[in-house]
DNA sequence: ACCCAGGCGGGCG
DNA sequence: CGCCCGCATGGG
């Protein structure tokens, strides 16, 4: 379904910016397309193709949702883009200093997204010792090879995101051929574990600590990746993933450029931003990456 | 050509 | 524990 077809659903959204949300290297980025001209994200969810167009300003705008399965899409958009979040309240909570203040001013409306837990797990396993462009490339190849056949919104066949069961029955060589490199072993073993031993969907609604400890059982998932999955796969705002960027930015801004252990940085963030530190992380991360002020 | 990328597991002291 | 190391591949 497209916008020139009959139906769409409209949401009024305050403090929302689709472009920043899409571009800020979240799981959605890796299997979706964004059209700058029409300010529209097109993505696959549960074998459905969903179109989301954003109009108006970041302060006060509208989302137009189109999908052949509208009941599914409405629910997906609300949860995925966290439309229930009161961003004014969140900004008040994390705006502790001029650094975060600048990030908020620059990227006002950028939302965290809540994505499918398995998709998030796979994407962040691929992310280790890798770059965003290549994560997209590998994700695309895995989808083309192992993803389910679905129809795009022109009725043409395409591939959705590969399930854990599809990858569990693939060989390591087949996964390797998609360009995963040394991560092939992790992808296969994570797929098997999530297919046979751990139902990621059953963790929805559990607490942050429980979710994280379960995720850490997966081969190829460590502290940072587990926090990314907790944050962007389960919506746990208590998570504060510390990657190389966040580490460098945090050291520069809050520790006078002194090297700190990752755990120390995470504890500092939990202390400073409490249950909202996940949002602080996203703004710190993206501002850090996009500003030449924080180059390595 | 070279260097690096949203880390991880394993091995060592 | 904390630290150090190797790791495949494609883009700049």
| Strand B contacted by A248 CB (< 7 A) | no
Rg of chain A over Cα atoms, rounded to whole angstroms, equals 19
Q: Residues 6 or more apart from A70 whose CB is under 8 A from it?
A: A7, A9
| Strand B contacted by A171 CB (< 7 A) | no
Confidence at residue A9, expressed as pLDDT on a 0 to 100 scale = 97
Q: Which nucleotide is at minimal CA–C1' distance from A176?
A: C8
Summarize pLDDT for A234-264 with one digit per residue, the tens: 999 999 999 999 999 999 999 999 999 999 9
Share of chain A above pLDDT 70, in %: 98
Q: Which residue is nearest to nucleotide C3 (CA to C1')?
A: A261
| Strand B contacted by A280 CB (< 7 A) | no
Please state, in angstroms and rounded to a whole number, the distance separating the CA atoms of residues A85 and A287.
21
Beta bridge partners of A43: A32, A50
- Rounded, the Å distance between the CA of A209 and C1' of C1 is 21
How far is C-alpha A264 from the chain's CA centre? 24
**Res A3 pLDDT > 90:** no
Q: Residues 6 or more apart from A293 whose CB is under 8 A from it?
A: none
**Per-residue confidence at A5, pLDDT binned at 50, 70, 90?**
low
Summarize pLDDT for A36-59 with one digit per residue, the tens: 999 999 999 999 999 999 999 999
Q: Which residue is nearest to nucleotide B9 (CA to C1')?
A: A220
Q: Which residue is nearest to nucleotide B8 (CA to C1')?
A: A220
Q: Residues 6 or more apart from A270 whose CB is under 8 A from it?
A: A238, A240, A277
- Rounded, the Å distance between the CA of A135 and C1' of B4 is 14
Confidence at residue A100, expressed as pLDDT on a 0 to 100 scale = 98
- Rounded, the Å distance between the CA of A13 and C1' of C6 is 48
Please state, in angstroms and rounded to a whole number, the distance separating the CA atoms of residues A240 and A275.
10
Please state, in angstroms and rounded to a whole number, the distance separating the CA atoms of residues A6 and A250.
49
Summarize pLDDT for A107-161 with one digit per residue, the tens: 999 999 999 999 999 999 999 999 999 999 999 999 999 999 999 888 899 999 9
Summarize pLDDT for A270-283 with one digit per residue, the tens: 999 999 999 999 99
Please state, in angstroms and rounded to a whole number, the distance separating the CA atoms of residues A215 and A124.
12
- Rounded, the Å distance between the CA of A228 and C1' of C10 is 24
pTM: 0.97
The sheet with strand A60-66 has its strands ordered as A9-14, A60-66, A48-56, A40-45, A32-35
| Strand B contacted by A291 CB (< 7 A) | no
**Res A69 pLDDT > 70:** yes
């Amino acid at each position: 379904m497209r916008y020139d077809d009959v139906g769409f659903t409209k949401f009024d959204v305050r403090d929302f910016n689709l472009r920043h949300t899409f571009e800020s290297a979240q799981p959605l980025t890796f299997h979706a397309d964004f059209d700058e001209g029409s300010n529209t994200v097109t993505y696959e969810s549960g074998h459905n193709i969903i179109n989301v167009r954003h109009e108006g300003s970041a302060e006060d705008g509208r989302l137009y949702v189109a999908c052949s399965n509208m009941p599914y899409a409405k629910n997906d958009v609300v949860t995925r883009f966290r439309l229930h979040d009161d961003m004014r309240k969140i900004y008040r909570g994390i705006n502790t200093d001029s650094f975060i203040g600048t990030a908020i001013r620059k990227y006002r409306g950028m939302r965290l997204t809540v994505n499918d837990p398995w998709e998030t797990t796979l994407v962040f396993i691929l992310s280790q010792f890798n770059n965003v462009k290549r994560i997209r490339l590998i994700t695309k190849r895995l989808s083309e090879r192992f993803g389910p056949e679905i129809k795009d919104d022109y009725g043409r066949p395409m591939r959705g995101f590969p399930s854990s069961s599809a990858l569990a029955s693939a060989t390591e060589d087949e996964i390797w051929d998609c360009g995963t490199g040394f991560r092939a072993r992790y992808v296969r073993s994570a797929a098997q574990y999530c297919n046979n031993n751990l139902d990621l969907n059953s963790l929805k609604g559990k607490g942050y600590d429980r979710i994280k400890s379960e995720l850490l059982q997966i081969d190829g998932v460590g502290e940072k990746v587990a926090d990314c999955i907790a944050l962007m796969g389960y919506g746990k705002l208590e998570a504060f993933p510390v990657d190389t960027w966040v580490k460098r930015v945090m050291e520069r801004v809050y520790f006078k450029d002194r090297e700190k252990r990752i755990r120390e940085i995470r504890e500092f963030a939990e202390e400073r931003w409490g249950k909202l530190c996940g949002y602080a992380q996203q703004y710190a991360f993206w501002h850090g990456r996009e500003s030449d002020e924080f180059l390595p």
